[in-house]
Structure formats: C-alpha cells, structure tokens
Structure 1
Amino acid sequence: MDIQAFDLHIIGGGIIGLCAAVTLQARGIKVVILEADKIASGASYGNAGHLATEQVFPIADANILQHVPAMLFNPEGPLRIDWRYLPRLMPWAFKLLLNMRPEPFARSHQALLALNAHSLQAWQDFAKDWQLTPWIKVEGSLLTVEKTTSLADLQAHGQRLNELSVPNELLSQQQLLELEPALKDTQLGALFFPQTGHITDLSAITKKLSTTFSELGGHIVEHCPVLEAKVSVDGITLTTSDQQIYARKVMLAAGAHSKALAKQLTGISVPLDTERGYHLMLPNEAARLTLPVSSMDRRFIMTPMDTGLRLAGTVEYAGLEAPANMNRAQMLLKQAQAMLTVPLDSENSTQWMGFRPSTADSLPIIDKCGSVFLNFGHQHLGLTQAVVSAQMIAALYFDENPVIDPAAYRLDRFE
C-alpha cells in the first residue's frame, strides 16, 4: 500500500485521532493514521474513563493557588513538581498564571462549557453509529467530601454549576451511602451529576474503532513516529524513523507530543506542557462501585470498569522524558481504601503513567491552517471531548458550519 496515496495523514492514534479518523473516513476521505507506538496505547488507554461533562472550569483556577503549597509539601498529595524540571516548566506556568485573571478565565470557562455541553450527546450518537454502546454507561457520577469544612464548598460548587445548566443534585450522607453502600460514613455528602457517563472498557472501544476504521478503508501504521514535519508549496513532508512521507493534508493529534510538530507545521509555539497522570487498576474489584466516585478533598477518582476498579488521578510536572514514579500510582490505593468500608483486593493490580497535554489556557487547539488540521491539547478532557472535536474537524475539513463557534479554539490566539 502506498502510504502517500491518502487524502489525510493523521499524526497520532489516540482517542482524539481515532474519532476524527472514523468520522472523516466514513464521509469518503481516505485517511491514514501514523502512530508512534501502538494504537491508543497512551493516555487513551490509561485515563480515568470518565465522561466528565461537569468539569467546566479551567485548570488555571486562582481558587487552587491557596492549596498548592500544602499539596506540594504532602508527599502523598495530588500535586508533585520535579524541581529539576522547573526551569523548563516556568514559561508555561507563568502563562497559566496570567490565564487565572478574571477575563481570560471567563473566556476559557465559557469555551469549556460549550464543548462539554455537546460532548455527551455526541458520544451517545457516535456509540450508536459504531456499535460502542456496550461499553458506555450514562448513569451519572459522584463528587464526595469528607471534611466538614468542605461541605459548604461542595454546596456552593453545585449551586454554581446548576446556574450554568450543568445539572447536579446535592446528596445527604444517607442518600450517598444508599447509592454507594461500599463507601465509609466518613463521606459526608456528595454531588450527583446525572448527565455524565463512563467507559467500562477503554481497550474494547479503541479496538472496535480501529477495526471499524480499517473496514471503512482507513489504514493504521503503528511504530511510526513522525520526527519532523515541513510545509512547502508542494505539500507537507513528514520524516519518520525510516522514511519520508509526502502528504497533501495533515492532522496533528499527538497529544502531549504535539508541541514541536505544531511549531514546524505552523510556525507558532503553543504554550503546551505535560501533566503526568497515574492509575492503579484493581482487577478483582469490578463490582465494588456502580458509579465513578471522585473525592473533592483527595482529588482523585475511582471508576468501575468491566476489567476492575480504576483508581486514577494526581498531577505531576516532570516532562516527557523523566521515568515514571510509580509511588504515585501506589498511593492511590491508600487514598481509595480510606474511603471504603471493606479492604480492597490489590492482588494482580497493574500501574500506569501517561501524559496529559495541557495548554496554558486549558483549551484544546481545534483549527485549520491551510493544509494542516490541529486537534490536540485537551488536558484532562480528551476522552470527554474526542467526538465533539472530531465533529468540529469534519466541519473545518468540509467548510461547513460547526456545531460550536470555533473562535476560542483557534491556534492564532497564541500568536
């Protein structure tokens, strides 16, 4: 097969690239995916599985600042910075701080609201179209608290979200424990978000999407890292580890690895850095919970999946090259156990670390620059926003009116 005889080369075979590939291939575009490793083996494999439509506030939130010192000095806290990485992190962190000012914060917040408002229905429709419904549950999720001082914050958070048309219900401790009896009575209450969902088997979904894409005529090339990209009047030259590929059009969807290629393809340096996240998978605990349960105080999530209970979360700034610190994964077990009545069975557990691509304004880049399409930078919401992002890319490709105003997600905001 001539790898150059395609209409569109997608760099990156995670959930963002896969959803766009299926969407475009189904509309008659000949698409090839160039994946540096195995298809959907990064954050698309290891994320929390939560369709987090309730998360409509930027990571650049000034309300978090007061908690940062305590988090950093707690070795089991939800935030860690590798001090050796700090000089490289500082330019991004400074821009993050600037985006905490009221006006840019409000812009990012409104843009996240717009994406998330369409995300769940987009996923449900996509799942019906491509036979993914066995692995998608839309039964809601919980955000719990266990500190008495957090109860007022929880109530205020819920009220604010309801005013933004992000529906939720404040549950008393009794209501919470009736819904999830495995939780300890140290959990004092919760918000229940009915319009959220979760994926019960991420690998099954990405395998099904890969098969569907191939059956539609698409092609996947694994172990094909794109090392360099160059745009000229004749087209786009992609240099991989063993060949040069000449492409008519390219979509960049390489997640946390997108920054250098974005600069080569567009000339613009995107303020993108990597939030390293961890999970611990407990294969013998699939039936412990019925809904995803997040802790406002502990800042992590427990998601019930077909293959076990996934404990996921934490934020670590250490870049793309530093080795994983699997103590970050193991400490999630201690955090989860503190919330549950019966000891967790951690036998045969597996641990994982991956990279979240976070821009300084918490928004993805979803744009078209000539023959280059950009679809990356979704921070913690890549899974949630994958399908709606694919719809927006399709609208850009076919010059159609997008379902969401694309202005907030354009690359030129960083010029």
Structure 2
Amino acid sequence: MKTNPMKINAGTPDSVNQQVIVIGAGVIGLANAVTLARRGFKVTVIDKEGVAAGASFGNAGHFATEQVFPLADPSLLPKLPKMLLDPLGPFRIRPAYFHRALPWFVRFIVNMMPARRQHNGNAIKALNARSMAATKELLTFCGRADLLVENGSLLVFETQDPRVMEQELALYNDAGIAVRLLSGDEARALEPDLSDAISGALWFTEVGHTPNPRAICEALADTLKALGGRIEIDSVCSLQGGNTPSVTTETGKVTKADKLLLCAGAWSRPLALKLGHRVPLETERGYHLMMPQHSGLKRPVASYERKFIITPMEDGTRLAGTVEFGGLNAPMSNARADCLLPHARVLLPKVFATARVSEGKRWMGFRPSLPDSLPVLGESQTPGVYFAFGHQHLGLTWAASSAELLGQLICGETPSIDLSPYCVKRFD
C-alpha cells in the first residue's frame, strides 16, 4: 500500500487524537474511516464479518453517476403487479414478505409525486457531482488508482423503434448527463462481441467501473491500518450516544469513543432505532452470477429491455442486476442468479454460447434502500452519533463523496453541499 503523506490532512484541534468508532466494514464504512483517519482521528472499525463481506463484495462494480432518476418512477405503477409476482423478473417481492414490505411501498409510491421526485432527483445529482473526482482522489491516496477504469458504460437496446432510444436520450440530456446515442454498428465498434441483435446504445462517457470491488475495500482497509486505525470483527448489539458514545458487542466488550458513525448498511435500521430513529429502511436482495469467461468488454454493458448489467472483472465477467424484497433471513433463490446467463447469451453470444451456469458462482447480498432513493447522511438526534447508510444501488458510487461530507461535518466545517435532504429527521 502506497500513500502520499503530503496528502494526509493535518487535522484540527477537535480531531487530533479523538477516538471514532465506525460500525461497518463495507465500502461506505471504510471510506469514512480512511477519511477521518486522514483528518487526525483515531479510528476503530467494527464489523460482524469483516472487510467487504456483503454488498461491497458482490456489487456490479459500476460507478453509476448516470443514475440520477429516483427509483420511485410513476411509470412503474402499471407494471408492478407483473414485476412483483414474476419469480424471475427483475423486480420481485416474495409473497410471504409482502405484508412486511407494504409500509415501505406506500412511502415509495408517495415519492412518485412530481415535487418529491424532483427534490429527490436533485439530491441524487448533488451526491453524484463529486463522486468520480472523490473516488479517484481516494483511490490514488490508497495507491490503487488502477481500480477505477474510466471508459464509460453502455445501455444497449434491442428494440427496432428508434423513438424509444430517442426518448431515453432526451431524458438523460435534460438531466445534464454526458451521453451519446450510438447505432448498433457504432456500439459494436466499441464492443465488437456485442450481438447483432443490438440496434443501438446510449454511451455514458463520464462514468466508470472497477474490475474488483473487493480490492477497493481491501485497499481502504490497508490504508486505514497504515494510518493507525484498527478493524475488529464483532457484532454490535447496542450503542449509546452522549458525551462519550459507546458500543456494546455480543462478546460483551464495551468500546467508548468521542464520536460514533453508523455505516452498517442493511443492518442499520435496528441500531438506529436504539437511538430513537424509526428509519423506513428495507432490504433489496441483489443477485449476481460470476462467470469465469472473460468477455473482452472494456466497460459495463446494461440492457434496457432485460434490466441487468454485465461488467468485466479481473477474474471473469459479472452478471448482475435483479432486485428481490424478502428481508435478511430468507435463503437465496438460485434461480434468480441462474436466469442472468440466458440474458447474457443474447447480448454476448460469442462469449457465452456454450457457457453453463455450473461454471459460475452465485451470490446474493443486501442493499439498504430507502423509499426516496436517498441515503441517511448527517447527525443523529443523539450527540456524538452520526449516520451514513441507506445508499441503495449507489453505495460504491457515493462512498468517497459521502465520506468527504461526513468528514467535513464531524470536524465542524460547513459541508460542501446542503445535507438537509439526507437528514434522518426527514422520516419523523
């Protein structure tokens, strides 16, 4: 691990030698931990499984700054019944879990209202604006700038109706996204193995991907240790704020600090409740199928019709993109991972024509999602405790930029953007 000591922030009188506990060793927690350590804090990260054990390991590896539209889209309403009941559809709720998820979906529908949707979209854009630059700076500091590949991404279409592509192009243009409309031949000029069935594509030119999401977390963890931080594997069962915040783990250990930052992803809801915050956090169960074949792709390729994404990785090709509501305890559905391979065969027939599911590795992880598509960032109502969780599909994208904002806030500086849209009090 190589760091540039000239870029380690000198800290402030309020930060030097203060103790901070960060709960969560995913990409959000580790990015915050390194950012705070650079500011002079003595940081301890506590996680029940260790570095990148969840969604930070299995995500699609896409820095998706083109995704500026809240998930609560009114156009989904007529499609929801079919989507939710289809066991292999891109968006599904397990029937036995429907009553548990219903309050979340009610809030989700409320966020489809035009004013709410515009507000939430603006807040997404604000976080996206600094994300690529912040990611590049953080990875460069960790000596792993190679883990960010900036070749953009493609959204490919199979439809023969040019109006569909033009309408999508107009939406992204209106949102200020850097995008180009390509013909099928132009898309194949970028990615020669794409199927002849591809009629066109949107090329998002200012986004990126990583060939190894786990390696990003490992680089952050190594950097944290080099800065004097620690990572402990233990389960937090309770926490307390005040002048001396503390956490108690299942082993009975009590750790006290000057500041406490909750970054526990899908497991943040019960811990926030212990501080009096009823956060409507729901768990999206995301799937991937990791295939050993190297696709030859230079960038992620998402399908407009099939609602999944293909990302080139160091050790093969990752197929990802389905969403299932089913909580934290239900077993994974192998079929939801397996169904991704037939889609990949259509888009990349030369690569996957003879591939078998048995060659790949299935994975399921938990995305922490809130009904307005915004994370919780900022102070809790309890002094000394801060929140950074609920980053839904954009945890990798927002990790560095949200860590910048929390670092500014915890050090008493004015954050670079207004944090009120992400405040936990919005759910009161």
Q: What SS does structure 2 have at the residue aligned with 1:67?
A: helix
* Equivalent-residue separation in structure 2 for 1:183 and 1:70 (angstroms): 29
Question: Within the alignment, does 1:72 sit opposite 2:81 as a pair?
Answer: no
Maintained 8 Å contact 2:68/2:175? no
Q: Superposition pairs for residues 265-414 of structure 1, below 5 Å? A: 265=275, 267-283=276-292, 285-344=293-352, 345-346=355-356, 348-369=359-380, 370-414=383-427
User: What residue identity is the alignment partner of 1:398?
Assistant: C
Q: Secondary structure at the match of 1:41?
A: coil
Counterpart position of 2:107: 95
- Measure, in 2, the Cα distance between the counterparts of 1:241 and 1:89: 28
Q: Alpha-carbon deviation of 1:399?
A: 1.3
**In structure 1, the residue corresponding to 2:284 is in which secondary structure?**
strand
Looking at structure 1, the residues matched to 365 and 277 of structure 2 have their Cα atoms a distance apart, in angstroms, of 25
1:181 deviates by 1.6
* CA shift for structure 1 position 190: 0.6
Q: Is the 8 A contact 2:243 2:384 kept in 1?
A: no
Quick check: 1:6–1:32 contact (8 Å CA) kept in 2? Answer: no
Partner of 2:95: 83
Counterparts of 1:248 and 1:342, CA distance in 2: 57
Q: Are 1:167 and 2:178 an aligned pair?
A: yes
Corresponding pairs, count: 406
Does 2:68 align with 1:17?
no
Letter in 2 for 1:395: Q
2:71 to 48, 56, 59: 59
Post-superposition offset of 1:70:
3.1
Shift of 1:33: 0.3
Provide the rounded CA distance (Å) in 2 between the counterparts of 1:132 and 1:239: 34
Classify 1:237/1:122 alpha carbon distance in 2 versus 1 (closer, same or farther; 3 Å). Answer: closer
Distance 1:298 1:263 in 2: 37
Q: Is 1:185 aligned with 2:193?
A: no
Could you tell me whether the CA contact under 8 Å between 2:92 and 2:323 is conserved in 1?
A: yes
| Alpha-carbon separation, structure 1, partners of 2:287 and 2:61 | 13
Find out whether 1:263 has 2:276 as its counterpart: no
What corresponds to 2:3 in structure 1?
none
SS of equivalent residue, structure 1 residue 281: strand
Which residue identity does 2:322 align to in structure 1? T
Deviation (angstroms), 1:76: 2.7
1:138 to 135, 150, 156: 150
Stretch deviating more after TM superposition (68-77 or 48-57)? 68-77
Distance 1:130 1:234, change over 3 A: closer
Residue in structure 2 matched with residue 197 of structure 1 by the alignment: 208
Kept in 2: contact 1:262–1:268 (CA 8 A) = yes
State which drifts further: 251-260 or 71-80: 71-80
TM-score (norm 2): 0.92
Question: Which residue number in structure 1 is paired with residue 46 of structure 2?
Answer: 34
| Letter paired with 2:279 | V
SS of aligned partner of 1:321: coil
* Partners of 1:234 and 1:401 in 2: CA distance: 22
- Structure 1 residue 296 displacement after superposition: 1.0
Q: The residue matched to 1:66 in structure 2 has which SS?
A: helix
Quick one: distance in 2 between partners of 1:90 and 1:6? 42
Q: Is the 8 A contact 2:284 2:368 kept in 1?
A: yes
1:368 is displaced (CA, Å) by 1.4
User: For residues 339-377 of structure 1, what are the alpha-carbon distances to aligned partners after superposition, in whole Å with 9 as ceiling and x for unaligned?
Assistant: 122252346411100000001111001101320110000
Return the TM-score normalized by structure 1.
0.94
SS at match of 1:162: helix
Q: Deviation digits for residues 44-90 of structure 1, max 9, x if unmatched?
A: 00000000000001111112222223323444321221111111101
Following TM superposition, by how much is the alpha carbon of 1:268 offset from its aligned partner in structure 2, in angstroms? 1.6
- Distance apart, 1:6 and its partner CA: 6.3
2:373 and 2:91 map into 1 onto residues whose CA distance is 17
Task: Within 5 Å, give how 1:184-263 maps onto structure 2.
Answer: 184-222=195-233, 224-231=234-241, 233=242, 235-243=244-252, 244-263=254-273
Equivalent position amino acid for 1:77 in 2? G
- Matched-pair identity in %: 42
Choose 117-126 or 49-58, whichever is displaced more: 117-126
Equivalent residue of 1:137, what SS?
Answer: coil
Structure 2 residues without counterparts, runs of 5 or longer: 1-16
* Partner SS, residue 315 of structure 1: strand
Q: Partners in 1 of 2:159 and 2:81 — Cα distance?
A: 19
Write out aligned runs for 1:117-132 (5 A). Answer: 117-132=129-144
The code of the aligned residue for 1:357 comes to P
Give the superposition deviation at 1:191. Answer: 0.2
Q: Letter of the 1:89 partner, please give it.
A: A
Structure 2: distance between partners of 1:45 and 1:84:
28
Partner amino acid for 1:297?
Answer: E
* Alpha-carbon separation, structure 1, partners of 2:239 and 2:174: 45
